[in-house]
Chain A
Amino acid sequence: MDYEAVIGLEVHVQLKTRSKIFCSCSTRFGAPPNTHTCPICIGMPGVLPVLNKKVVEYAMKMALATNCEIASVSQFARKHYFYPDLPKGYQISQYELPLAENGWIDVEVDGQTRRIGITRIHMEEDAGKLIHDEHRPLSFVDLNRTGTPLIEIVSEPDIRRPEEASEYLKKIRQLVRYLGISDGNMEEGSLRCDANISLRPLGRQGYGVKSELKNMNSFRHVQKALEYEIRRQTALLLDGGQVVQETRLWDAAKGVTHSMRGKEEAHDYRYFPDPDLVPVEIERVWIEKVRQEMPELPGAKRERFVKEYGLPPYDADVLTSSIHVADYFEECVRLFHRPKTVSNWIMVELLKLLHQDNQEIDTCPVPPSSLAALLKLVEDGTISAKMGKKVLEESYKTGMEPQQIVQEQGLSQLSDEAELKSMVARVIEDFPEEVAKYRSGKKKVFGFLVGQVMRMTRGKANPKKVNELLQKALD
């Protein structure tokens, strides 16, 4: 029997606010343990949390970017469980009245677009961090992260393949980065993903028993864990067995998922509305104000790049993958009006250099103005395209302006006709045998003679001009 996977994802995104969601402690990463804590975020009795307005606005941006409906009234709720990284014994989250519901995003896999529904987006606080002692039976609790704002994005069970899950996540990352609301880094934990997965006979409606997968901290791991889980559940079902509803942890080293035992009753969170926090009311005016602060989103930008700059869809796709690359491109085109040329140089040369160094374009040592200047030098023939690539590398390495590099290293192309003519004449004089061969019909020798001129100018002669002049002199 053939089975089909039914996958839904829960994504947690850490928001890039300066202060925490309910108190004014800093969210800065990497501070010494427990130096960013206060009575509110360590859960002292009698304190009152107050909501950070920016958290609401960031969450609204994501809701709008994912086509969600923003609730006119939403409310915080307490989610109860015991764990040492949760000082209050409950996490402040949203339950019955989340900030936003009923959205979707489109993902593309193998040239096919699929629409993945978004059930809800809600705001909540992050927990602290536990470090386990390697030798003693102890764990250390650091509450700096406690109260860092998160949004949780819950998808509908619309995902059918591991590749789709991975693309969906990449889309979420692209959106939060475009919106500037999160670093969206899975390896560092600013983007986290849990997956629900069940199987059902192909063509059947309804759902099978699902397992919940955790502990996947890269796109690749999400895909691998889902692939493994599909194999595991398929084997179980074909064997006449049954899937048990449980939480399973992905073991990246072994490439398997294994059951997290002893979590029965763990899902009885006893949610209730948090009486410390008043409802959030969002009116149209506020939504429109937030909408206006949003940048152009990837889809619209891609379309505009094709229409406005006449770029092939592939180029537009690569250039809009990150808002910084797109901005870089547009700034460069503003200064040098050949979009396709700019696109080629960014996609082929610049992104290659950045990729080698694992760098992002927003920290690129060659600003758009420098690339534009370089392209002008190539266009007006001051340097050849080949030389241009070298100059770009040099500029990337040293941060020097292309013009300066060309000048200081004497790289500009020799195009002066009189000078080139005299060199051509000298070559003809120096190599009478080859010239005779050429004139007797052995046209291949031509390349050798061009080479001699190039050698005399140490590669700086404009090859097109040399060809022209040599041809004229020989015929």
Chain B
Amino acid sequence: MAKIQKSEVEHVAKLARLTFSQAEIDSLTDQLNDILTYIGKLEELDSTGVEPTTHALKLTNCFRGDEVGESLPVDEALSNAPQREGGAFVVPRII
């Protein structure tokens, strides 16, 4: 399995808006490579003819009908907001 480079860890960290020290980047790179090596064990299995799947369960077509149910009271919806004004969440200005 291809090894993860430090630059990839930095890139993913940036996408996830995470900041790490050089030491942390080094250790995360090692850890991620360990995980990949571990998962890589699966490649030893012969999976010819096995359908790729996104689920452990053999389940498809879980639907609900188009019916309106109750929503949260606005105070509850906003109860985790660090800042609110009226019924709106307030965030630092975008654009």
Contact = CB atoms under 8 A, between A and B. Distances in A.
Given A25-B69, A51-B64, A273 B54 contact: yes
Given A37-B72, A279-B55, A279-B60, A82 B17 contact: yes
A84 interface: yes
B49 interface: no
Given A53-B63, A278-B57, A279-B60, A35 B87 contact: yes
Interface in B29-82: 54-55, 57, 59-72, 74, 77-78
Interface in A1-54: 17-19, 23-26, 32-39, 42, 50-54
Classify the interface of chain A: helix, strand, loop or mixed: loop
Contacts of B71: 25-26, 35-38
Contacts of A265: 11, 14-15
Contact of A34 (B55, B70, B78): B78
Nearest to B90: A138
Interface residues of B, number: 35
B64 A139 contact: no
- In the complex, the 6 A-B pairs of residues with the closest C-beta atoms, listed nearest first: A24-B69, A140-B88, A53-B63, A273-B54, A54-B66, A141-B89
Contacts of B17: 82
Contact of B54 (A18, A34, A75, A268): A75
Given A34-B89, A279-B55, A24 B15 contact: no
B75 to A, nearest CB: 10
Contacts of B74: 32-35, 37
Given A25-B69, A26-B68, A34 B77 contact: yes
A299 interface: no
Contacts of B67: 18-19, 24
Nearest to A35: B74
A122 to B, nearest CB: 16
Contacts of B59: 278
Interface in A121-171: 130-133, 136-143
Given A32-B87, A34-B78, A138-B90, 16 more contacts: A17-B66, A19-B68, A23-B69, A24-B69, A24-B70, A34-B87, A38-B70, A42-B77, A52-B63, A75-B54, A82-B17, A137-B93, A143-B89, A265-B15, A277-B62, A278-B57
A56 interface: yes
Contacts of A231: none
A302 to B, nearest CB: 31
Contact of A38 (B54, B55, B57, B72): B72
Contacts of B62: 50-51, 277-278
Nearest to A136: B93
A280 interface: yes
A42 B94 CA distance: 19
Contacts of B85: 138, 140
